[in-house]
Structure 1
């Protein structure tokens, strides 16, 4: 590329960040905004990447990006709320005098995020990070499938319901309607469709009548409309009695465990 071979360089580093909900922003280390591929890359001169290390082995490639928090792009509240968790990031270089051609420098997802004194440091995990996950499942007495997925096969039609949060006390939410079956939301999911938590998800620990207890308090104490998705305690008894789905149970409740080694005659 001619713009890389010139006496005077005009290289600008750019970041394209796409959240899991589809929100996409562009940032550049140049001192002016750049239009690339229909997306405006906002000037953020404080954004600097660490050295990118690559090798021929199977070790996961990673890099850090450090920069100042900006309420118009990435705010501290959104980071702490988890809106940027797992966001897809592309890092590339381009010619700021004629944006268009790119030199890819790295891609991955946002991992660990640290915030200190108005500055954020985000770890970018490369594709090879997926090799760090277990290849096969471990045996377990509880079901390893998620309620309604392709292995569980329980039909979720009618098991999703909308409600309105009328009160918040820590991790306990008060709703405008009661659950259709005792404890049916325990182990399920809650999606926010209104208020400051809109677009976020929470795990439900248990439910009782018109109250739902989350595994952690909501990010913002802001009532709003929610969608409740039924859950499962992953036991064989619940799978058989509540869902009549024991043929798809993905666990080994009768497989001897390590406690078998401690047994002895007459024990």
Structure 2
């Protein structure tokens, strides 16, 4: 059941009112972008919803009883000048900056006599995560899945296995990503698949880790580190454009989920959730 304020209910009982949709996109990094399909910018609950941003349109909302996942199909039409934090919107989706972002759709009602008075509040229509984006130069088609989509996680969650059940830096691992972040810059001679940089950590420290680019056309792009050699990071996938000397990067370590790595690299044995002494199937009786 959707709720509405007494002021909004009274407005809906009047003969005339106008409606507008409010869209809020929140990235996993905490950046929030708010837009409206209204003719003017609107201030709602202390937040500004821009009428000059990307044009967001939507299909009807699919709602079901039970545990079937509810969906909303959204189309985002953009110009080359419209950006998210300085990056073209389509490129932000391509770079993965919007992976896991949350999408919130609300509707607001206004009277013709007071077309920007938003004090009556909003009605929440849909909320969920952006999944499966498809895009071309100036358009993104993306689905929004309700939080019931989380029920699709394979069970059982935990297995008896030699390697750790945790994912590095998740809540069970208990380590803070920021404490292991290394800031450095790209050095000359780097390619789209091999990044040269100065790192004080021993060889292999960042294998299976993550590198994040902060400048130029690769800004916001993240890549898994396939191999950390002395003075070089080999990427699992090549970059969109060649990196340039002096560009800033963030590098996070990797974890092979072995007990020795948990002890020697992270001093985190208390949170290790593997069973390293489980016998292999050929020797179990």
Q: Identify whether the pair has TM-score above 0.5, normalized to the shorter chain.
A: yes
Displacement of 1:245: 5.7
* Residues 69-118 of structure 1: per-residue CA shift (max 9 Å, x gap): 23425621111011112222110111252334211111112111111463
Return the match for 2:238 from 193, 207, 217: 217
Indicate the residue corresponding to 1:27 in structure 2: 35
* Contact 1:195/1:225 (8 A) holds in 2: no
Q: Describe the SS at the equivalent of 1:52.
A: coil
Is residue 2:151 matched to residue 1:134?
no
TM-score, normalised by the number of residues in structure 2: 0.76
CA distance in 1, matches of 2:103, 2:36: 13
Is residue 2:67 matched to residue 1:58?
yes
Is residue 2:127 matched to residue 1:107?
yes
Q: Describe the SS at the equivalent of 1:103.
A: strand
Distance 1:260 1:48, change over 3 A: farther
Distance 1:67 1:199, change over 3 A: closer
Indicate the residue corresponding to 1:170 in structure 2: 192
CA distance in 2, matches of 1:72, 1:230: 34
Indicate the RMSD between aligned Cα atoms, in angstroms: 3.3
* Contact 2:168/2:255 (8 A) holds in 1: yes
Q: How many aligned positions are there? A: 261
Counting only pairs closer than 5 Å after superposition, residues 16-95 of structure 1 correspond to structure 2 as 16-36=24-44, 37-43=46-52, 46-70=55-79, 71-73=81-83, 75-95=89-109
Displacement of 1:249: 3.6
CA distance in 2, matches of 1:189, 1:4: 51
TM-score, normalised by the number of residues in structure 1: 0.80
Gaps of 5+ in 2: 1-8
Displacement of 1:229: 2.4
Indicate the residue corresponding to 1:13 in structure 2: 21
* Contact 1:30/1:45 (8 A) holds in 2: no
Return the match for 1:189 from 181, 197, 210: 210
CA distance in 1, matches of 2:169, 2:257: 12
